[in-house]
Amino acid sequence: MASVASLTKQIAALDISNQNKAGKTSSNPARPPLHAKQPSQTNVAKLLTKFAAPNTTTAPSKLSKTSSTSTLRSQASSKTLAEKLEAERQSKPPQVDIGAYDGGLEEDEKSRGSAISAEAEKRLALDSTNDRQYPTRQWTLNSFEMGRPLGKGKFGRVYMVRTKCEPRYIIALKTLYKSELVSNRVEKQVRREIEIQSNLRHPNVLRLYGYFHDEKRIFLMLEFAGKGELYRQLSKAGRFSEKRSSRYIDQMADALKYLHSKHVIHRDIKPENLLLGLDGELKIADFGWSVHAPGNRRKTMCGTLDYLPPEMVEGKDHTERVDHWALGVLTFEFLNGFPPFEVPDSQTKTYRRIQAVDLRFPEGMSSGSRNLISALLKYKPEDRMPLEKVMVHPWITQYRPRNSTRGSELA
């Protein structure tokens, strides 16, 4: 029977896209306690960690079919039928329960989606087999074992699913109805989101493994973020501790540095667009407002009001430094439970506070966190702290795990 360690190594060495292609067969009240993992979740989390598709750039291992076949034959010849059946049974890894499918796709099929024009159909005929950089095998809805629903979005549903082909990875499958994308005039935005996210490879960026379509829908094969939405945890906790906030911002800075090196500006960083992986690691998701801008200058105003930087509020050109500003706002919200410039029920006053960089720190915040936030929330984009310096800031490094190599090359 294969050991847990050997199974883990085999799975970690595979990339789902290439593996399957190869196998076509103001006051500061006391902070509430943070969530503690329930003991009953431990074994399930370990199994999910093993069988969820990996977010790595490791090339798939190439096995010798001839040598493995000859080894099996020699082993089989020396065993009785009963021994062979028992060995086969024990060699099969335990299956993770992905939950019961609720029939939601069939239910939607009766009431959602309508015909679209030939031109729109051509624009939304999205298939990762045609991806220029990372082409995948041919996928269809029949390629998956359907599991429990993970949520509903404006344009469709998200399910926990398992691939039927080996090694039977667990992923999240998101559906989008083409006619609804067209009627809301977001088909170009969706195309851009898919093109950007499918070519990103970073442990703190939610992975898009592949995508395909049928007559009515587009399907996105996404990394399964086992601990769900960060926003829900923040809402439940009220605010995060300095240690937890620092570790999240450390991961965010590293991920944004990677995105900017690829000339990708996210432009909509906020808690609602962040997920948590099986080990509690942060995952940047929702690239709907992202843009690939090699020239690094854009004009479109987008994102969420509380996170908009002064240059967007004033209708000026913007660069990747809008993400630096958002990182400062995010740090403040993690620590306090609300964004720094928010004026409830008044967009105009919120705009004015942003323009004036009217930053007010509640009592109880550490000097280190205040220093980092102040260094990121600067009126002039060029004055905002570079991400490289964020990653070696004392408030970040003091909470970084000792065995972490993050930021070591920058120190």
Nearest to 298 by CA among 269, 314, 325, 319: 319
Residue with tokens 């909509």: 268
CATH number of the domain to which 152 belongs: 3.30.200.20
Helix (H, G, I), strand (E, B) or coil at 169: coil
Is pTM beyond 0.95 here?
A: no
pLDDT higher than 80, residue 246: yes
CA gap 173, 220 in Å, rounded: 6
204 labelled ligand-binding: no
272 labelled ligand-binding: yes
- Tell me: do 315 and 270 sit in the same domain: yes
- Provide the phi-psi class of 296: left if phi over 0, else alpha when psi is between -120 and 50, else beta: left
If pLDDT is split at 50, 70 and 90, which confidence band does 382 have? Answer: very high
Looking at residue 79, its pLDDT comes to 62
164 labelled ligand-binding: no
Neighbours of 378 (CB within 10 A): 18
Choosing from 173, 190, 222, the residue where a domain stops is 222
Could you tell me how far CA 106 lies from the centroid of its own chain? 27
Domain that residue 310 falls in: 228-397
Residue with tokens 């007559």: 215
Looking at residue 286, its pLDDT comes to 80
Residue 8 lies in a domain: no
Nearest to 230 by CA among 374, 400, 35: 35
pLDDT higher than 70, residue 408: no
Tell me the residue type at 253: A
- Tell me: do 158 and 266 sit in the same domain: no
The residues carrying an active-site annotation are: 268
pLDDT single digits (tens) 284-323: 988 765 444 444 343 333 346 889 999 988 888 889 999 9
CATH number of the domain to which 345 belongs: 1.10.510.10
- Tell me: do 168 and 281 sit in the same domain: no
154 labelled ligand-binding: yes
Q: Which residue has better confidence, 267 or 61?
A: 267
- Tell me: do 336 and 383 sit in the same domain: yes
pLDDT single digits (tens) 89-123: 666 656 788 999 999 999 988 888 888 889 989 99
Helix axes 321-336, 242-261, angle to 10 degrees: 170
